[in-house]
């Protein structure tokens, strides 16, 4: 057999960078309130490229006064415009936004890759097409809410406060804004402080779409801005995606206020490989599960559970495959592994990886040339990991895989469920009956079978236990933005390739 690790050195790819010249960046971005960009009253901050540490733009910082203005604009728009429109008219705006996202897809992909550090091929082929798909999907629902199984004449909640993380900045925005608008709510959204750029370009798209002023407001800032937003007395709904620690703090602070809430939090998914799985396919699924988006994925398959008798074969083939991944310039179309989003995140990945080693696991790192500037971490595997080890229990949120073994399906299930989280899981096996039997016993919101990290706007997504509660996507995603009526929960759609569990426990 040819040793790919050796040949790949001779078969290097020529640079194929995507040009950032398609971007028409402003030097300074204001807050998007009531349809216009306005100055913020907090101290502005810079957003940088994590690949070069160069400044991209200066960003306004919303303080409590700005949060007030944004919520007031959303309330006004709700009372005077948005709640008066028919579902069909709301749908027309959403279709228009979806088409504009498609028209400006290349620009959005470049902005996302620049600001987040993710490879352009992922931003271009995954993030942005899914953003458009989310708006198209919910555009279709806007005039059909009566048929969503949520009771007759379902009513919007009012103003939604939405706070999102940095790992899929534009996609998380779409997951939040599309169902909220389709259901008839208005929105104030806060992107993460390290990745505000694509949300601000999206604000320009809203202007282009002639969306009535105030229906969507985008305010930038750090945790204190988010805190002021979710605690504002005039918001009716809080939708948060981010860390479990912050989600817990939000749940506490809004308890008893009557605000409806959905929390999409962290994960530590088990990706289970049985000995009857097609190994090459499983190896691709493992790579996609944990090295896609540098492992900055809440539902990443960060714990590999591999049946003991195929452990060595799987790990050997995995190392061979990882040796072919190209780390570097995120804007290069051949790049597989981009930059880590921030120095802070890099420090956390390093710290937990060092702990893994100190706790006795064996560390293997793919050979990569690490650029001089920026934040980088080469794909890393830990074998011989104990269930009690911190790298098996805590979310590393980076390109680091912990490998554990099992002998029987019962042991695989027990180990997979031995986690405070419950967002997703993967099962690799040739036997459909085994997949369904195991899936039934896993406490995870989304279960992929013989695939991983697949997303579809029609499929609900969300967690069990410390991964949060509520569902985004599909009909379930609409319910989160409507007054609870006669909710007839759709039965859990169980497919061969994806099994999604419908209710939080
Ligand atoms: P984070 O919780 O630190 O920040 C998320 C957002 O919350 C940011 O916009 C931040 O400014 C804001 N924020 C911080 N403190 C706040 C407060 N007290 N009140 C209100 N808002 C506050 O998380 P992060 O580091 O940006 O993102 C990574 C985390 O997000 C990971 O744990 C990941 O698993 C999770 N995540 C979950 C999902 C999901 O769907 N379950 C999706 C993506 C990411």
Q: Which atom of ligand 1 is nearest to the CA of 266?
A: 34
- Would you call 298 a catalytic residue per the annotation? yes
Q: Could you tell me the distance, in angstroms and rounded to a whole number, from the CA of residue 97 to the centre of ligand 1?
A: 25
Q: Could you tell me the distance, in angstroms and rounded to a whole number, from the CA of residue 52 to the centre of ligand 1?
A: 24
pLDDT at 7: 52
469 in contact with ligand 1, CB cutoff 6 A: no
Q: 288-298: buried (b, 16+ CB within 10 Å) or exposed (e) per residue?
A: bbbbbbbbbbb
Q: 344-371: buried (b, 16+ CB within 10 Å) or exposed (e) per residue?
A: ebbebbeebbeebeebebeeeebebeee
Q: Could you tell me the distance, in angstroms and rounded to a whole number, from the CA of residue 197 to the centre of ligand 1?
A: 17
Instruction: Report the nearest-CA residue for atom 22 of ligand 1.
Output: 223
Q: Which value, in Å, is the radius of gyration of the alpha carbons in the chain?
A: 22
Q: Could you tell me the distance, in angstroms and rounded to a whole number, from the CA of residue 191 to the centre of ligand 1?
A: 10
215 in contact with ligand 1, CB cutoff 6 A: no
| Model-wide pTM > 0.85 | yes
pLDDT tens column, 26-76: 999 999 999 999 999 999 999 999 999 999 999 999 999 999 999 999 999
Sign of the four-CA dihedral 47, 50, 51, 54: positive
Q: Could you tell me the distance, in angstroms and rounded to a whole number, from the CA of residue 226 to the centre of ligand 1?
A: 10
267 in contact with ligand 1, CB cutoff 6 A: yes
- Tabulate helix, strand, coil % of the chain (nearest 5): 40, 15, 40
Q: Could you tell me the distance, in angstroms and rounded to a whole number, from the CA of residue 456 to the centre of ligand 1?
A: 22
250 in contact with ligand 1, CB cutoff 6 A: yes
423 in contact with ligand 1, CB cutoff 6 A: yes
Q: Could you tell me the distance, in angstroms and rounded to a whole number, from the CA of residue 493 to the centre of ligand 1?
A: 28
Do 176 and 187 touch, CB atoms closer than 8 A? Answer: yes
Which of 298, 299, 394, 466 is catalytic? The answer is 298
Q: Report the residue among 169, 170, 229, 246 best suited for mutation to probe ligand 1: largest number of ligand atoms under 8 A from its CB.
A: 246
pLDDT tens per residue across all 505 residues of the chain: 455 555 555 567 899 999 999 999 999 999 999 999 999 999 999 999 999 999 999 999 999 999 999 999 999 999 999 999 999 999 999 999 999 999 999 999 999 999 999 999 999 999 999 999 999 999 999 999 999 999 888 999 999 999 999 999 999 999 999 999 999 999 999 999 999 999 999 999 999 999 999 999 999 999 999 999 999 999 999 999 999 999 999 999 999 999 999 999 999 999 999 999 999 999 999 999 999 999 999 999 999 999 999 999 999 999 999 999 999 999 999 999 999 999 999 999 999 999 999 999 999 999 999 999 999 999 999 999 999 999 999 999 999 999 999 999 999 999 999 999 999 999 999 999 999 999 999 999 999 999 999 999 999 999 999 999 999 999 999 999 999 754 444 433 333 344 444 333 3
Closest by CA to 164, choosing from 233, 100, 247, 94, is 247
222 in contact with ligand 1, CB cutoff 6 A: yes
E strand intervals along 437-488: 446-449, 468-469
471 in contact with ligand 1, CB cutoff 6 A: no
pLDDT at 12: 78
62 in contact with ligand 1, CB cutoff 6 A: no
Cα–Cα dist 496/461, whole Å: 17
428 in contact with ligand 1, CB cutoff 6 A: no
Q: Which atom of ligand 1 is nearest to the CA of 193?
A: 11
pLDDT at 486: 47
Which of 112, 122, 193, 264 is catalytic? The answer is 264
Q: Which atom of ligand 1 is nearest to the CA of 247?
A: 2
- Bridge-based pairing of strands 424-428 and 270-273 is parallel
Q: Could you tell me the distance, in angstroms and rounded to a whole number, from the CA of residue 308 to the centre of ligand 1?
A: 36
E strand or H helix at 318, and its extent? helix 311-322
457 in contact with ligand 1, CB cutoff 6 A: no
Instruction: Report the nearest-CA residue for atom 42 of ligand 1.
Output: 298
Q: Which atom of ligand 1 is nearest to the CA of 245?
A: 2
Torsional class of 418: left (φ above 0), alpha (ψ -120 to 50), beta (otherwise): beta
Q: Which two tokens stand for residue 395?
A: 């979310």
- As a whole number of Å, the end-to-end CA separation of the chain is 49
Q: Report the residue among 116, 165, 292, 395 best suited for mutation to probe ligand 1: largest number of ligand atoms under 8 A from its CB.
A: 165
pLDDT at 491: 38
504 in contact with ligand 1, CB cutoff 6 A: no
């Amino acid at each position: 057999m040819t040793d790919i690790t050796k040949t790949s050195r001779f078969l290097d790819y020529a640079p194929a960078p995507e040009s950032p010249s398609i971007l028409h960046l402003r030097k300074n971005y204001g807050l998007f309130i009531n349809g216009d960009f306005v100055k913020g009253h907090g101290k502005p901050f810079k957003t940088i490229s994590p690949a070069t540490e160069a400044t991209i733009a200066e960003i306004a910082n919303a303080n409590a006064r700005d949060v007030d203005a944004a919520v007031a604009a959303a309330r006004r728009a709700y009372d005077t415009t948005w709640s008066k429109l028919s579902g069909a008219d709301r749908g027309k705006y959403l279709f228009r936004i979806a088409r504009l996202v498609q028209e400006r897809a290349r620009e959005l992909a470049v902005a996302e890759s620049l600001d987040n550090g993710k490879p352009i091929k992922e931003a271009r082929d995954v993030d942005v097409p899914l953003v458009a798909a989310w708006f198209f999907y919910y555009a279709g629902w806007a005039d059909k809410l009566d048929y969503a199984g949520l009771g007759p004449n379902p009513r919007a909640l009012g103003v939604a406060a939405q706070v999102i993380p940095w790992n899929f900045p534009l996609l998380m925005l779409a997951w939040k804004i599309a169902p909220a608008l389709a259901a008839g709510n208005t929105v104030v959204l806060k992107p993460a402080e390290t990745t505000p750029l694509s949300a601000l370009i999206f604000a320009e798209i809203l202007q282009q779409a002639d969306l009535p002023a105030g229906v969507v407001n985008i305010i930038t800032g750090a945790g204190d801005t988010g805190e002021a937003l979710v605690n504002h007395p005039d918001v009716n709904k809080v939708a948060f995606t981010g860390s479990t620690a912050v989600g817990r703090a939000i749940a506490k602070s809004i308890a008893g206020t009557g605000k409806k809430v959905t929390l999409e939090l962290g994960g530590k998914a088990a990706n289970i490989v049985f000995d009857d799985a097609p190994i090459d396919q499983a190896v691709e699924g493992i790579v996609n599960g944990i090295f896609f988006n540098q492992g900055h994925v809440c539902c990443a398959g960060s714990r590999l559970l591999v049946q003991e008798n195929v452990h060595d074969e799987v790990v050997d083939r995995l190392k061979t495959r990882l040796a072919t991944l190209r780390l570097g310039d995120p804007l290069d179309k051949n790049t597989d592994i981009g930059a880590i989003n921030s120095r802070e995140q890099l420090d956390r990945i390093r710290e937990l990886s060092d702990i893994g080693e100190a706790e006795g696991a064996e560390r293997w790192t793919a050979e990569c040339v690490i650029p001089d500037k920026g934040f980088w971490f080469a794909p890393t595997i830990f074998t011989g990991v104990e269930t009690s080890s911190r790298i098996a229990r805590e979310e590393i949120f980076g390109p680091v895989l912990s490998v554990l073994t099992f002998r029987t399906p019962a042991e695989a299930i027990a180990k997979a469920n031995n986690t405070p989280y419950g967002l997703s899981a993967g099962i690799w096996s040739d036997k459909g009956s085994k997949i369904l039997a195991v899936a039934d016993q896993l406490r995870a919101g989304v279960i992929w079978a013989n695939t991983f990290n697949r997303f579809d706007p029609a499929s609900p997504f969300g967690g069990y236990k410390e991964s949060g509660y509520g569902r985004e996507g599909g009909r379930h995603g609409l319910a989160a933005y409507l007054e609870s009526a006669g909710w007839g929960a759709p039965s859990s759609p169980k497919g061969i390739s994806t099994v999604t569990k419908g209710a939080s426990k």
